[in-house]
Structure 1
Amino acid sequence: MGLTFRPVTAMSPGRDAIHDGSGDQMSLHAATPPDTETFRLLFVCTGNICRSPVAEIMTKHILKGGLGGHEAARFVVASAGVGAVVGEMMHPDTRDELSPWGLDGLVAGEFRARQLRAPMVRRADLVLGANVRHRSAIVEREPAGLRTTFALREFAALADAVDETLLPAEDPVKRATELVEQARMLRGLVRMDPEDLRLPDPMGRPPAAHRHAVELITDAVYRIVQRIVPPRG
Protein backbone atom coordinates (compact mmCIF):
# COMPACT_ATOMS: atom_id res chain seq x y z
CA MET A 1 0.00 0.00 0.00
CA GLY A 2 2.97 2.25 0.43
CA LEU A 3 1.95 4.25 3.48
CA THR A 4 4.74 6.58 4.53
CA PHE A 5 5.95 8.02 7.81
CA ARG A 6 6.40 11.60 6.73
CA PRO A 7 8.19 13.93 9.18
CA VAL A 8 6.54 17.14 10.29
CA THR A 9 8.12 20.33 11.49
CA ALA A 10 5.37 22.23 13.28
CA MET A 11 1.95 20.73 13.77
CA SER A 12 -0.41 21.04 16.68
CA PRO A 13 -1.63 17.70 18.06
CA GLY A 14 -5.18 18.99 17.73
CA ARG A 15 -6.42 18.43 21.26
CA ASP A 16 -9.04 21.18 20.96
CA ALA A 17 -12.02 19.36 22.33
CA ILE A 18 -15.75 18.87 22.25
CA HIS A 19 -17.03 18.19 25.76
CA ASP A 20 -19.43 15.33 26.33
CA GLY A 21 -21.35 17.09 29.07
CA SER A 22 -19.49 15.49 31.96
CA GLY A 23 -16.39 17.62 31.70
CA ASP A 24 -14.59 14.91 29.74
CA GLN A 25 -13.24 15.42 26.26
CA MET A 26 -13.52 12.94 23.42
CA SER A 27 -13.16 14.85 20.17
CA LEU A 28 -9.92 16.51 19.21
CA HIS A 29 -11.23 19.33 17.08
CA ALA A 30 -13.74 22.00 17.99
CA ALA A 31 -15.49 21.56 14.64
CA THR A 32 -16.00 18.00 13.39
CA PRO A 33 -18.12 16.63 10.53
CA PRO A 34 -21.46 14.95 11.35
CA ASP A 35 -21.20 11.68 13.27
CA THR A 36 -22.03 9.62 10.17
CA GLU A 37 -18.96 11.12 8.53
CA THR A 38 -16.49 10.55 11.37
CA PHE A 39 -14.79 7.67 13.09
CA ARG A 40 -13.80 8.10 16.74
CA LEU A 41 -10.83 6.13 17.99
CA LEU A 42 -9.75 6.08 21.63
CA PHE A 43 -6.48 4.64 22.94
CA VAL A 44 -6.17 3.71 26.62
CA CYS A 45 -3.21 2.81 28.84
CA THR A 46 -2.53 3.32 32.54
CA GLY A 47 -1.15 6.81 33.10
CA ASN A 48 -1.76 8.33 29.64
CA ILE A 49 1.81 9.60 29.51
CA CYS A 50 3.65 6.85 27.58
CA ARG A 51 1.86 4.26 25.48
CA SER A 52 -1.56 5.70 24.62
CA PRO A 53 -0.21 9.18 23.73
CA VAL A 54 2.21 7.56 21.27
CA ALA A 55 -0.64 5.56 19.75
CA GLU A 56 -2.75 8.72 19.43
CA ILE A 57 0.01 10.82 17.88
CA MET A 58 1.29 8.12 15.54
CA THR A 59 -2.22 7.23 14.36
CA LYS A 60 -2.95 10.82 13.41
CA HIS A 61 0.40 11.10 11.69
CA ILE A 62 0.05 7.87 9.70
CA LEU A 63 -3.57 8.59 8.78
CA LYS A 64 -2.55 11.97 7.42
CA GLY A 65 0.24 10.38 5.41
CA GLY A 66 -2.05 7.70 4.00
CA LEU A 67 -5.23 9.69 3.42
CA GLY A 68 -4.20 13.33 3.16
CA GLY A 69 -5.33 16.05 5.52
CA HIS A 70 -8.98 16.31 4.41
CA GLU A 71 -9.85 12.63 4.77
CA ALA A 72 -7.68 12.18 7.87
CA ALA A 73 -9.68 14.94 9.59
CA ARG A 74 -12.69 12.61 9.53
CA PHE A 75 -10.93 10.48 12.14
CA VAL A 76 -11.16 11.82 15.68
CA VAL A 77 -8.30 10.24 17.62
CA ALA A 78 -7.87 10.59 21.38
CA SER A 79 -6.30 8.85 24.38
CA ALA A 80 -6.83 8.50 28.12
CA GLY A 81 -5.59 6.52 31.11
CA VAL A 82 -7.37 4.21 33.55
CA GLY A 83 -5.22 5.76 36.28
CA ALA A 84 -4.11 8.90 34.51
CA VAL A 85 -1.55 11.35 35.80
CA VAL A 86 -4.02 14.08 34.90
CA GLY A 87 -2.52 17.16 33.30
CA GLU A 88 0.97 15.69 33.00
CA MET A 89 3.06 15.91 29.85
CA MET A 90 4.32 12.86 28.01
CA HIS A 91 7.19 11.02 29.65
CA PRO A 92 10.37 12.61 28.23
CA ASP A 93 11.94 9.28 27.27
CA THR A 94 8.84 8.29 25.31
CA ARG A 95 8.61 11.72 23.74
CA ASP A 96 12.24 11.52 22.59
CA GLU A 97 11.45 8.34 20.66
CA LEU A 98 9.09 10.32 18.41
CA SER A 99 11.96 12.40 17.03
CA PRO A 100 12.49 10.29 13.86
CA TRP A 101 9.07 11.49 12.68
CA GLY A 102 9.54 15.06 13.86
CA LEU A 103 6.77 14.55 16.42
CA ASP A 104 8.76 15.11 19.60
CA GLY A 105 8.50 18.91 19.53
CA LEU A 106 5.27 20.89 19.39
CA VAL A 107 3.09 17.85 18.70
CA ALA A 108 4.13 15.87 21.78
CA GLY A 109 4.86 19.00 23.79
CA GLU A 110 1.23 20.10 23.86
CA PHE A 111 -0.04 16.72 25.01
CA ARG A 112 -1.62 16.51 28.49
CA ALA A 113 -2.83 13.35 30.22
CA ARG A 114 -6.48 12.80 31.09
CA GLN A 115 -8.56 10.25 32.96
CA LEU A 116 -10.71 7.68 31.18
CA ARG A 117 -14.44 8.21 31.71
CA ALA A 118 -17.38 6.10 30.60
CA PRO A 119 -18.76 8.74 28.18
CA MET A 120 -15.50 8.60 26.21
CA VAL A 121 -16.03 4.87 25.66
CA ARG A 122 -19.67 5.34 24.69
CA ARG A 123 -18.79 7.92 22.05
CA ALA A 124 -15.92 5.97 20.52
CA ASP A 125 -16.32 3.71 17.50
CA LEU A 126 -13.22 1.78 18.53
CA VAL A 127 -11.38 1.63 21.86
CA LEU A 128 -7.92 0.08 22.01
CA GLY A 129 -6.27 -0.71 25.33
CA ALA A 130 -2.54 -1.14 25.71
CA ASN A 131 -3.00 -4.64 27.15
CA VAL A 132 -5.76 -7.16 27.80
CA ARG A 133 -6.13 -5.88 31.37
CA HIS A 134 -6.83 -2.39 30.01
CA ARG A 135 -9.47 -3.89 27.74
CA SER A 136 -11.12 -5.39 30.82
CA ALA A 137 -10.88 -2.12 32.76
CA ILE A 138 -12.49 -0.23 29.89
CA VAL A 139 -15.45 -2.60 29.70
CA GLU A 140 -15.86 -2.50 33.49
CA ARG A 141 -16.28 1.27 33.25
CA GLU A 142 -18.66 1.04 30.31
CA PRO A 143 -20.10 -2.44 29.54
CA ALA A 144 -21.65 -1.10 26.34
CA GLY A 145 -18.12 -0.82 24.98
CA LEU A 146 -17.64 -4.60 24.87
CA ARG A 147 -18.33 -4.88 21.13
CA THR A 148 -15.86 -2.17 20.18
CA THR A 149 -13.06 -2.62 22.72
CA PHE A 150 -9.88 -4.59 22.04
CA ALA A 151 -6.25 -4.66 23.07
CA LEU A 152 -4.13 -2.73 20.56
CA ARG A 153 -1.98 -5.59 19.30
CA GLU A 154 -4.98 -7.93 19.40
CA PHE A 155 -6.89 -5.65 17.06
CA ALA A 156 -3.91 -5.33 14.72
CA ALA A 157 -3.76 -9.12 14.42
CA LEU A 158 -7.50 -9.35 13.80
CA ALA A 159 -7.30 -6.54 11.23
CA ASP A 160 -4.58 -8.48 9.41
CA ALA A 161 -6.97 -11.44 9.15
CA VAL A 162 -9.96 -9.54 7.72
CA ASP A 163 -10.70 -10.38 4.09
CA GLU A 164 -10.19 -7.28 1.92
CA THR A 165 -13.29 -8.11 -0.11
CA LEU A 166 -15.43 -7.55 2.99
CA LEU A 167 -14.32 -3.92 3.35
CA PRO A 168 -15.87 -1.03 1.38
CA ALA A 169 -13.70 -0.12 -1.57
CA GLU A 170 -13.30 3.64 -1.22
CA ASP A 171 -14.59 5.39 1.91
CA PRO A 172 -12.04 5.15 4.77
CA VAL A 173 -14.59 5.82 7.53
CA LYS A 174 -16.85 3.06 6.22
CA ARG A 175 -13.81 0.80 5.93
CA ALA A 176 -12.87 1.51 9.55
CA THR A 177 -16.42 0.85 10.74
CA GLU A 178 -16.63 -2.45 8.87
CA LEU A 179 -13.13 -3.40 10.02
CA VAL A 180 -14.29 -3.19 13.65
CA GLU A 181 -17.32 -5.35 12.91
CA GLN A 182 -15.29 -7.97 11.06
CA ALA A 183 -12.63 -8.01 13.79
CA ARG A 184 -15.34 -8.55 16.40
CA MET A 185 -16.63 -11.58 14.50
CA LEU A 186 -13.11 -13.01 14.25
CA ARG A 187 -12.61 -12.93 18.02
CA GLY A 188 -11.73 -16.40 19.23
CA LEU A 189 -11.15 -17.64 15.68
CA VAL A 190 -7.68 -16.20 15.11
CA ARG A 191 -4.93 -17.97 17.04
CA MET A 192 -2.82 -15.56 19.06
CA ASP A 193 0.10 -16.10 21.39
CA PRO A 194 -0.63 -14.12 24.59
CA GLU A 195 2.94 -12.81 24.46
CA ASP A 196 2.20 -11.26 21.06
CA LEU A 197 -0.60 -9.22 22.62
CA ARG A 198 1.54 -7.63 25.33
CA LEU A 199 2.61 -4.02 25.20
CA PRO A 200 5.01 -3.62 28.14
CA ASP A 201 4.78 -0.46 30.22
CA PRO A 202 8.08 1.47 29.88
CA MET A 203 7.37 3.64 32.92
CA GLY A 204 10.27 3.53 35.37
CA ARG A 205 12.44 1.60 32.94
CA PRO A 206 15.47 2.65 30.85
CA PRO A 207 15.19 4.50 27.51
CA ALA A 208 15.47 1.21 25.60
CA ALA A 209 12.13 0.13 27.08
CA HIS A 210 10.49 3.31 25.77
CA ARG A 211 12.02 2.68 22.36
CA HIS A 212 10.68 -0.88 22.33
CA ALA A 213 7.19 0.29 23.30
CA VAL A 214 7.16 2.90 20.55
CA GLU A 215 8.29 0.29 18.02
CA LEU A 216 5.49 -2.10 19.02
CA ILE A 217 2.88 0.66 18.98
CA THR A 218 4.00 2.00 15.61
CA ASP A 219 3.90 -1.47 14.09
CA ALA A 220 0.37 -2.13 15.37
CA VAL A 221 -0.95 1.29 14.35
CA TYR A 222 0.58 1.01 10.89
CA ARG A 223 -1.07 -2.37 10.32
CA ILE A 224 -4.46 -1.02 11.40
CA VAL A 225 -4.25 2.14 9.30
CA GLN A 226 -3.11 0.05 6.35
CA ARG A 227 -6.52 -1.67 6.40
CA ILE A 228 -8.38 1.63 6.76
CA VAL A 229 -6.72 3.38 3.81
CA PRO A 230 -8.44 2.28 0.57
CA PRO A 231 -6.13 0.26 -1.67
CA ARG A 232 -4.73 2.18 -4.61
CA GLY A 233 -5.13 0.95 -8.15
Structure 2
Amino acid sequence: MGRHRQAEQSFRLLVVCTANMCRSPTAEIMMRAALHERLGPAAAGFVVSSAGVAVPPQRRSMHPLTRAELRARGLSSPAEAFVVTQLQPEHVTRADLVLGAERRHCAAVVEQTPEALPVTFGLREFARLAAAMDASTLSRSPVVRAHELVEFARVHRGLVTARDRGSDDIPDPVGGTRDDHRRAADAIGTATWSIVSSISPNSR
Protein backbone atom coordinates (compact mmCIF):
# COMPACT_ATOMS: atom_id res chain seq x y z
CA MET A 1 0.00 0.00 0.00
CA GLY A 2 1.02 3.64 -0.01
CA ARG A 3 1.90 3.89 -3.70
CA HIS A 4 -0.07 7.15 -3.64
CA ARG A 5 3.10 8.68 -2.19
CA GLN A 6 5.10 7.94 -5.32
CA ALA A 7 5.19 9.41 -8.81
CA GLU A 8 2.99 6.94 -10.64
CA GLN A 9 1.90 6.51 -14.23
CA SER A 10 -1.24 4.61 -13.26
CA PHE A 11 -3.95 4.70 -10.62
CA ARG A 12 -5.91 1.65 -9.46
CA LEU A 13 -9.33 2.20 -7.89
CA LEU A 14 -11.37 -0.56 -6.25
CA VAL A 15 -15.03 -0.18 -5.27
CA VAL A 16 -16.52 -2.58 -2.70
CA CYS A 17 -20.05 -3.46 -1.61
CA THR A 18 -21.73 -6.58 -0.21
CA ALA A 19 -22.37 -8.91 -3.14
CA ASN A 20 -20.86 -6.96 -6.06
CA MET A 21 -24.16 -7.07 -7.91
CA CYS A 22 -25.64 -3.57 -7.43
CA ARG A 23 -23.71 -0.70 -5.91
CA SER A 24 -20.05 -1.48 -6.57
CA PRO A 25 -20.56 -2.57 -10.21
CA THR A 26 -22.63 0.57 -10.78
CA ALA A 27 -19.81 2.69 -9.36
CA GLU A 28 -17.19 0.81 -11.39
CA ILE A 29 -19.06 1.22 -14.67
CA MET A 30 -20.06 4.84 -14.03
CA MET A 31 -16.55 5.77 -12.88
CA ARG A 32 -14.95 4.27 -15.97
CA ALA A 33 -17.45 6.03 -18.26
CA ALA A 34 -16.96 9.37 -16.49
CA LEU A 35 -13.18 9.10 -16.68
CA HIS A 36 -13.34 8.51 -20.43
CA GLU A 37 -15.78 11.39 -20.87
CA ARG A 38 -13.73 13.88 -18.85
CA LEU A 39 -10.18 12.75 -19.59
CA GLY A 40 -10.28 11.21 -23.06
CA PRO A 41 -7.04 9.28 -23.80
CA ALA A 42 -5.67 10.12 -20.33
CA ALA A 43 -8.30 7.77 -18.86
CA ALA A 44 -6.02 4.90 -19.93
CA GLY A 45 -3.95 5.62 -16.82
CA PHE A 46 -6.82 4.51 -14.57
CA VAL A 47 -7.80 0.94 -13.75
CA VAL A 48 -11.22 0.67 -12.11
CA SER A 49 -12.58 -2.57 -10.65
CA SER A 50 -15.07 -3.75 -8.03
CA ALA A 51 -15.69 -6.67 -5.69
CA GLY A 52 -18.05 -7.86 -2.99
CA VAL A 53 -17.26 -8.84 0.59
CA ALA A 54 -19.90 -11.62 0.55
CA VAL A 55 -20.76 -12.78 -2.97
CA PRO A 56 -23.46 -15.51 -2.96
CA PRO A 57 -22.34 -18.90 -4.32
CA GLN A 58 -22.99 -19.38 -8.03
CA ARG A 59 -23.76 -15.67 -8.51
CA ARG A 60 -22.29 -14.48 -11.82
CA SER A 61 -24.15 -11.40 -13.02
CA MET A 62 -25.34 -8.15 -11.51
CA HIS A 63 -28.88 -7.66 -10.24
CA PRO A 64 -31.34 -7.40 -13.16
CA LEU A 65 -32.88 -4.16 -11.85
CA THR A 66 -29.44 -2.57 -11.57
CA ARG A 67 -28.58 -3.80 -15.04
CA ALA A 68 -31.81 -2.26 -16.34
CA GLU A 69 -30.98 1.03 -14.62
CA LEU A 70 -27.54 1.14 -16.24
CA ARG A 71 -29.06 0.25 -19.58
CA ALA A 72 -31.39 3.23 -19.26
CA ARG A 73 -28.33 5.44 -18.73
CA GLY A 74 -26.62 4.27 -21.91
CA LEU A 75 -24.30 1.79 -20.16
CA SER A 76 -25.83 -1.42 -21.47
CA SER A 77 -22.68 -3.08 -22.86
CA PRO A 78 -20.55 -3.00 -19.69
CA ALA A 79 -23.58 -3.94 -17.59
CA GLU A 80 -24.33 -7.01 -19.73
CA ALA A 81 -20.68 -8.10 -19.70
CA PHE A 82 -20.17 -7.62 -15.95
CA VAL A 83 -19.19 -10.67 -13.87
CA VAL A 84 -19.33 -10.48 -10.06
CA THR A 85 -16.11 -10.88 -8.06
CA GLN A 86 -15.49 -11.98 -4.49
CA LEU A 87 -13.11 -9.64 -2.68
CA GLN A 88 -9.61 -11.08 -2.19
CA PRO A 89 -6.66 -9.57 -0.30
CA GLU A 90 -4.70 -9.11 -3.53
CA HIS A 91 -7.45 -6.88 -4.92
CA VAL A 92 -6.90 -4.52 -2.00
CA THR A 93 -3.10 -4.60 -1.93
CA ARG A 94 -2.96 -3.65 -5.61
CA ALA A 95 -5.30 -0.67 -5.14
CA ASP A 96 -4.28 2.96 -4.72
CA LEU A 97 -7.77 3.79 -3.47
CA VAL A 98 -10.54 1.59 -2.07
CA LEU A 99 -14.08 2.99 -1.87
CA GLY A 100 -16.88 1.29 0.08
CA ALA A 101 -20.59 1.74 -0.55
CA GLU A 102 -21.10 1.72 3.23
CA ARG A 103 -18.89 2.17 6.27
CA ARG A 104 -19.19 -1.54 7.02
CA HIS A 105 -17.62 -2.37 3.68
CA CYS A 106 -14.66 -0.16 4.53
CA ALA A 107 -14.41 -1.94 7.88
CA ALA A 108 -14.46 -5.34 6.16
CA VAL A 109 -11.65 -4.27 3.82
CA VAL A 110 -9.47 -3.01 6.66
CA GLU A 111 -10.20 -6.07 8.81
CA GLN A 112 -8.99 -8.28 5.97
CA THR A 113 -6.07 -6.04 4.98
CA PRO A 114 -5.16 -3.66 7.84
CA GLU A 115 -2.48 -1.85 5.83
CA ALA A 116 -5.24 -0.60 3.51
CA LEU A 117 -6.62 1.79 6.14
CA PRO A 118 -4.87 4.92 4.76
CA VAL A 119 -6.40 4.44 1.30
CA THR A 120 -9.88 3.13 2.24
CA PHE A 121 -12.84 5.52 2.33
CA GLY A 122 -16.57 5.56 1.78
CA LEU A 123 -17.51 6.50 -1.78
CA ARG A 124 -19.44 9.57 -0.68
CA GLU A 125 -16.87 10.38 1.99
CA PHE A 126 -14.05 10.50 -0.56
CA ALA A 127 -16.13 12.59 -2.97
CA ARG A 128 -16.70 15.12 -0.19
CA LEU A 129 -13.04 15.20 0.80
CA ALA A 130 -11.82 15.51 -2.79
CA ALA A 131 -14.22 18.39 -3.44
CA ALA A 132 -12.81 20.22 -0.40
CA MET A 133 -9.26 20.34 -1.76
CA ASP A 134 -8.00 23.50 -3.45
CA ALA A 135 -7.79 22.36 -7.09
CA SER A 136 -5.21 25.04 -7.90
CA THR A 137 -2.64 23.18 -5.79
CA LEU A 138 -3.00 19.92 -7.75
CA SER A 139 -0.89 18.59 -10.59
CA ARG A 140 -2.12 18.92 -14.17
CA SER A 141 -1.57 15.18 -14.65
CA PRO A 142 -4.84 13.33 -13.85
CA VAL A 143 -3.01 10.27 -12.47
CA VAL A 144 -0.72 12.32 -10.23
CA ARG A 145 -3.71 14.44 -9.28
CA ALA A 146 -5.60 11.32 -8.16
CA HIS A 147 -2.70 10.26 -5.95
CA GLU A 148 -2.56 13.76 -4.46
CA LEU A 149 -6.28 13.61 -3.67
CA VAL A 150 -5.80 10.32 -1.81
CA GLU A 151 -3.05 11.88 0.28
CA PHE A 152 -5.21 14.93 1.02
CA ALA A 153 -8.15 12.70 1.99
CA ARG A 154 -5.92 10.61 4.26
CA VAL A 155 -4.71 13.67 6.13
CA HIS A 156 -8.12 15.36 6.35
CA ARG A 157 -10.25 12.31 7.09
CA GLY A 158 -12.84 13.25 9.71
CA LEU A 159 -12.27 16.98 9.29
CA VAL A 160 -14.75 17.40 6.43
CA THR A 161 -17.91 15.73 7.70
CA ALA A 162 -21.29 14.89 6.23
CA ARG A 163 -24.15 17.15 7.24
CA ASP A 164 -26.30 14.23 8.33
CA ARG A 165 -25.01 11.33 10.37
CA GLY A 166 -25.08 8.17 8.28
CA SER A 167 -25.54 10.05 5.00
CA ASP A 168 -22.30 8.64 3.61
CA ASP A 169 -23.82 5.16 3.31
CA ILE A 170 -25.52 4.29 0.03
CA PRO A 171 -28.56 2.11 0.88
CA ASP A 172 -28.59 -1.40 -0.54
CA PRO A 173 -31.36 -1.65 -3.19
CA VAL A 174 -31.45 -5.47 -3.12
CA GLY A 175 -34.98 -6.59 -2.29
CA GLY A 176 -36.32 -3.15 -3.18
CA THR A 177 -38.15 -1.64 -6.10
CA ARG A 178 -36.97 -0.23 -9.40
CA ASP A 179 -37.09 3.18 -7.73
CA ASP A 180 -34.72 1.95 -5.00
CA HIS A 181 -32.23 0.88 -7.66
CA ARG A 182 -32.66 4.22 -9.41
CA ARG A 183 -32.03 6.16 -6.20
CA ALA A 184 -28.90 4.12 -5.49
CA ALA A 185 -27.64 4.74 -9.02
CA ASP A 186 -28.37 8.46 -8.68
CA ALA A 187 -26.38 8.68 -5.44
CA ILE A 188 -23.50 6.71 -6.93
CA GLY A 189 -23.53 8.79 -10.10
CA THR A 190 -23.35 12.04 -8.14
CA ALA A 191 -20.40 10.80 -6.06
CA THR A 192 -18.47 9.31 -8.96
CA TRP A 193 -18.92 12.39 -11.13
CA SER A 194 -17.72 14.59 -8.27
CA ILE A 195 -14.60 12.45 -7.84
CA VAL A 196 -13.83 12.43 -11.54
CA SER A 197 -14.37 16.19 -11.71
CA SER A 198 -11.79 16.62 -8.95
CA ILE A 199 -9.37 14.35 -10.84
CA SER A 200 -9.84 16.27 -14.10
CA PRO A 201 -7.37 19.18 -14.45
CA ASN A 202 -10.03 21.15 -16.35
CA SER A 203 -12.71 20.75 -13.68
CA ARG A 204 -12.43 24.09 -11.88
TM-based fold match above 0.5: yes
Change (3 A) 1:50 1:167: same
Among all aligned residue pairs of Structure 1 and Structure 2, give the percentage whose two residues are the same amino acid: 49
Q: Number of residue pairs matched? A: 196
Q: 2-side partners of 1:167 and 1:232: how far apart?
A: 11
Amino acid at match of 2:187: L
Q: Does 1:42 align with 2:8?
A: no
Q: 2-side partners of 1:42 and 1:213: how far apart?
A: 18
Structure 1: segments with no counterpart, 5+ residues: 1-34
Amino acid at match of 1:44: V
Partner of residue 77, structure 1: 48
Q: 1-side partners of 2:48 and 2:152: how far apart?
A: 21
Match of 1:129 among 100, 111, 115: 100
User: Which aligned pairs between 1:59-138 and structure 2 lie closer than 5 A?
Assistant: 59-68=31-40, 70-85=41-56, 87-104=59-76, 106-138=77-109
| CA RMSD, Structure 1 to Structure 2 (Å) | 1.5
Kindly provide the CA deviation profile for residues 24-62 of structure 1, in whole angstroms up to 9, marking residues without a partner as x: xxxxxxxxxxx9311000000000000000000000000
CA contact (8 A) 2:130 2:198 kept: yes
CA contact (8 A) 1:87 1:114 kept: no
User: Which aligned pairs between 1:128-167 and structure 2 lie closer than 5 A?
Assistant: 128-167=99-138
TM-score (norm 2): 0.92
Amino acid at match of 1:128: L
Which structure is richer in relative contact order (CA contacts within 8 A, separation 6 or more)? Answer: 2
Match of 1:179 among 149, 153, 172: 149
Q: Secondary structure at the match of 2:171?
A: coil
Partner of residue 17, structure 1: none
User: Which aligned pairs between 1:206-225 and structure 2 lie closer than 5 A?
Assistant: 206-225=177-196
How far has the Cα of 1:116 moved from its partner? Answer: 0.5
Q: 1-side partners of 2:203 and 2:124: how far apart?
A: 25
CA contact (8 A) 2:71 2:79 kept: no
Q: 2-side partners of 1:99 and 1:88: how far apart?
A: 18
Match of 1:52 among 6, 19, 24: 24
Q: 1-side partners of 2:169 and 2:8: how far apart?
A: 33
Larger fraction in helix: 2
